[in-house]
Chains A and B, each alone.
Chain A
C-alpha cells in the first residue's frame, strides 16, 4: 500500500525486536471473540487514478455549468489561487494545534493576524482563533452572554438564519435557556416595538443577524440601546463577511458571531467554513475557543503563544467555557491570506461590486410583470422578491435554462410563500443577470 512505508522484511525485523511471533500477538489484549477474522466489506483498494475517477464522476453530477442566485449563508466570491497555494503548504496543512510554540510560530502568528483582521472588520476589541461555523459561533455567543449576565431568556430575531436558529434551539434545550422569537416588520428589519415589549431584566441576549436572512441591514445601534436598557447583551451574527467592506461594523454589539466563508472558502456543499466570535476586552475570559497572544522569549524576541487557556476544556474540563477543541484553523488561515491579498481597497471594491450588481439585478427583476420587492429596508447583496406564483415551479423551469434560481423562503417561513431570496455577488456577470431576468419573465409568462 503506497501510504505505508514498510517492507515485509522490515515488519518482520520489528516484530522480532519486540519479541512477538506475529502481528496478532500485539492485539492479544483484545478479547479473542471481538477480533475480526474476515476482511471488512469496503470498496477499494483504489489507485490514485481510481480515487480521482470516482470523485470526478460524482463531480459531474453537480451544478457545474449552472448560474446560481443562491446565497443564504453560503456565498460565491472570487478567490485568488495564492490562497490555495499557501494553505496547501505542508507546514500549514499537516501541522497540529500550535501547543509547542517554538516550532509553531507560523501558525501562531497567522492566528494573531486573523484575530486582528476580525477585530478590524467587526469593530470589536478581541476575536478568537475560530469556531466551527457561523451557526455554532452564534450559539456559543448566546451561551457566553448567559455566563456574563447570568440570565436565561434569549430574544432571537425571526430574521436570523433558520438553520442558525435550529442549532441554537438544539443547544438551548438542555441548558435551561428560553429562546423566544422577535418578529420582523414590514421593511424586513426586526420590529423594534415588539422587542421593546418583550425585553425585561431577565433577558441575557438579543440576537440579530445583519444583513439579516432576507438581506436587509438591521439598525444595530438602536437595537443595542434597547437591549442595554435592560442589561441584555446584543449579539450580532454576520453571515456575509464581505458586507463589512462597505457596511458599518456592528461596533455597538457586545458579541459578534461571524461566518467567514466569504473570505476565500469554497461553498463545498456546506463546509468546512470558519466561524469567529469577537467581543469587548472585558468579556475575554468568558469567550470560548483558542486565543493566540503576543509574548517574548528570554532574549526579548517577539513570538506568539496560545494564551488564556484556563478557559478551555483541556484545563477546566466540566467548568470550561465550551467543549470546542478542534476548530477550523486552516479555514481561518485561508481567510487571513485572502483578506491580506484583498487588502483595504480590494475588500471595499469587492463589496461595492456586490452592492452594485445586486441593486442592478433588483431593479431589473421588479420590472418583470408580477414581481415585486418584499422589503424596503436597505440591502447589500441579497434581497427578497415576491413572485406571482410558486417559487418551486418557477425554479423548476429556470433549472431547464441552467439557472439555479433564488431560495424559496416558504419552506423556512410559512408566512412567506411565493417569497424568494436572491443573491448576486461580484462573480455574476451583467449578461447572466440579464439572461436570468428574461428567463424568469418567460417562466412567469407561461401558464
Chain B
C-alpha cells in the first residue's frame, strides 16, 4: 500500500454467498404466536387459486444466519458513517440518528393513512409544521408534500405549470432545459407531455440570457433550471432569466437538488422562481439508504396553488387539520396516501435541530467546497472558474495526458479510504470530477481528502498504471459490466454459481 494512504488500512472481510445458497429445508428464523382461531382450509377457501406448495426457491435459514448474512453484506459497503462521501449533486451529509428514532415511535410509525382524522392530528401537525418550515426556507406561498422523490416533484411541478397555463387558455408545447441539467429533467418533461428543447450553456457554464430571449416564444411553457447549477455555480442573471420567461407568459421551474447551497442564505421565491422541488434526502438529511427512499415536496407561488395534487392539507376553523379531497382544479393524485410520511418526519426533525441556524450548515458546506477547490486548483483542471458554492467541478484534462481518466482517479480514491466523487457529470464537462463535501466534514477530513487527491494526481504522473487498475484493496476488482449487460443475469436460480 502506498505510504500516502493514511486514512485506510486493510481489514478482514468475510465472504458470504447468496441467502438462497445458505438455505436448508426446515430451518426458520421467525415464529408466529400460535393460531388462536380454527384453521381455515386453504384449499377450500381459495379453490383453484390455492398455492399449495409454498413459494419455490424461498430461503430457509435460522435467525443467526440471516443476521450474519446481512451484517456481512453491510461491511462491503462504504457509507457516510465511515467517512467523507463527496458525491457531487447528491449531498451526502450526516444522517442524525434521532431522526430514525422519532420516525419509529408508536403513534407515528404505527399510523394508518386511512384512519379517522381525529386520530391523525399528530401526523397532520407534523406535516403542517414541515410545510411552514419549507415555505420559510424557499420563500414560496404554497406547497405539496406528496411527491415520493425529486423526479416526481419535477413531474408535479410541470403538471402544475401545465394546469395553470391551460387555465390561461393554452398549455403550450415546449420546456427548455439547459445541457447541464440532471437527466430526470428531460425525462420528466416528456411524461408531462412536453417537448424538450435543450439549451447550450455559455462559456462560463451559465444560461445565456440573450440567447434565452430568442428561444422563449409563446410555445414555451417553462424553463427548468438548477440553481446553483450542476457546476456548483449560482446563475447570476437569475432574475433576468425569470423576467424573460414571465414577459412571454412562461414560468420558471427550479430543480432544488442544490438547495444545500442556499438554505438560510437566499430564497428562490425572492429571485423569481415560480415552482420548485426539494430533495429531502439531500438538503434535509434523510438517509439515502442505498438509493432511497426520498421525498420531493414542491413549493410554489400563489398562482399555482389551486392546482395542487389532492389531498391538500388545510386547517379548519377550530384549528383542526384535515386532508381536503374535493379540489376542482387539482392536477389529481401523484401517489397513493400522504407521501413518504416517514421521510417527512425525519426532515422535520433535522430542521428543528437547526432552527434558523440552518444557515450555518449552508455556510460550512460552501466553506468546505471552496477550501477543497483552493487546494486542488492547478493539480486538477478547473474548466469553469466562476465562484463555487457547495460543490466544485474539476476535469481530468491534466491526468488524461497520462492516460488516466476521471473514473480511474475515482476508483483510486477508494484505496485512499474515500468514496469517489461523481464522475462524468455534468455532461458539459468532459471527464468531470464533481466534488460536494457538504457541511458534515471536519477540517481534518477535508485535509485528508485533499492529501489523497494530490497523491493520486502525483501517481497519475509517475505511475499511471496503479491508478488505471485501481481499486487494489477492495473485495472485488472492476467488474465486467459489458458481459453483465450483454448476457444479463438478474436473479439467482438453482444450480448457477
| Contact between A and B in the complex (any CB pair below 8 Å) | yes
Rounded to whole angstroms, the CA-CA distance of A290 and B73 in the bound complex is: 19
Q: Are B479 and A303 in contact (CB under 8 A)?
A: yes
CB distance from B124 to the nearest CB of A (A): 9
Listed by A's residue number, 19 A-B pairs whose Cβ atoms lie within 8 Å are A34-B267, A40-B358, A62-B119, A86-B67, A91-B82, A94-B80, A97-B290, A107-B291, A116-B20, A132-B152, A167-B333, A246-B46, A247-B50, A272-B343, A291-B488, A295-B479, A337-B66, A344-B58, A352-B39
* Contact digits for A42-82, partner B, Cβ 8 Å, 1 yes 0 no: 11111010111011111111111010101011101010101
List CB contacts (< 8 Å) of A331-354 with chain B: 331, 333, 336-337, 339-350, 352-353
Q: Find chain A residues with CB under 8 A from B47 CB.
A: 378
* Contact digits for B463-496, partner A, Cβ 8 Å, 1 yes 0 no: 0000000010011111111011100111110000
Q: Are A333 and B30 in contact (CB under 8 A)?
A: no
Q: Find chain A residues with CB under 8 A from B196 CB.
A: 317-318
Q: Find chain A residues with CB under 8 A from B233 CB.
A: 29
Q: Are A28 and B292 in contact (CB under 8 A)?
A: no
User: Which single member of B101, B266, B478 contacts A36 (CB below 8 Å)?
Assistant: B266
Q: Find chain A residues with CB under 8 A from B154 CB.
A: 323
CB distance from B363 to the nearest CB of A (A): 5
Number of chain B residues close to chain A: CB under 8 A? 201
Q: Are B107 and A341 in contact (CB under 8 A)?
A: no
B170 within 8 A of A: no
- Using CB atoms, name the residue of chain A closest to B356: A39
Q: Find chain A residues with CB under 8 A from B382 CB.
A: none
CB distance from A312 to the nearest CB of B (A): 8
Q: Find chain B residues with CB under 8 A from A34 CB.
A: 238-239, 266-267, 270-271
List CB contacts (< 8 Å) of B103-154 with chain A: 103-116, 118-123, 125-126, 129, 133, 136-137, 148-152, 154
A-B contact count (CB 8 A): 690
List CB contacts (< 8 Å) of B433-480 with chain A: 439-443, 445-446, 471, 474-480
* Contact digits for A87-98, partner B, Cβ 8 Å, 1 yes 0 no: 111111111111
Q: Find chain A residues with CB under 8 A from B123 CB.
A: 58, 62, 269
Q: Are A66 and B239 in contact (CB under 8 A)?
A: no
Q: Are B51 and A61 in contact (CB under 8 A)?
A: no
Closest 5 CB pairs of A and B: A44-B355, A59-B107, A270-B337, A330-B289, A90-B81
- Using CB atoms, name the residue of chain B closest to A266: B109
Given the known interface contacts A59-B105, A98-B291, A318-B196, the answer about A93 and B266 at a Cβ–Cβ threshold of 8 Å is: no
- Using CB atoms, name the residue of chain A closest to B374: A18
Q: Are B55 and A4 in contact (CB under 8 A)?
A: no
Number of chain A residues close to chain B: CB under 8 A? 200
- Using CB atoms, name the residue of chain B closest to A85: B67
User: Which single member of A19, A100, A164, A245 contacts B420 (CB below 8 Å)?
Assistant: A100
Q: Are B38 and A356 in contact (CB under 8 A)?
A: yes
Q: Are B122 and A60 in contact (CB under 8 A)?
A: yes
B309 within 8 A of A: yes
Q: Find chain B residues with CB under 8 A from A219 CB.
A: 48-49
User: Which single member of A169, A297, A308 contacts B485 (CB below 8 Å)?
Assistant: A308
Most chain A Cβ neighbours within 10 Å, of B67, B375, B440:
B67
Q: Find chain B residues with CB under 8 A from A294 CB.
A: 484, 489-490
B71 within 8 A of A: yes
User: Which single member of A62, A106, A343 contacts B122 (CB below 8 Å)?
Assistant: A62
Q: Are A293 and B484 in contact (CB under 8 A)?
A: yes
Rounded to whole angstroms, the CA-CA distance of A51 and B352 in the bound complex is: 7
Q: Are B477 and A174 in contact (CB under 8 A)?
A: no
List CB contacts (< 8 Å) of A15-41 with chain B: 15, 17-20, 23, 26-31, 34-36, 39-41
Rounded to whole angstroms, the CA-CA distance of A404 and B116 in the bound complex is: 8
CB distance from A286 to the nearest CB of B (A): 14
User: Which single member of B30, B74, B94, B129 contacts A341 (CB below 8 Å)?
Assistant: B30
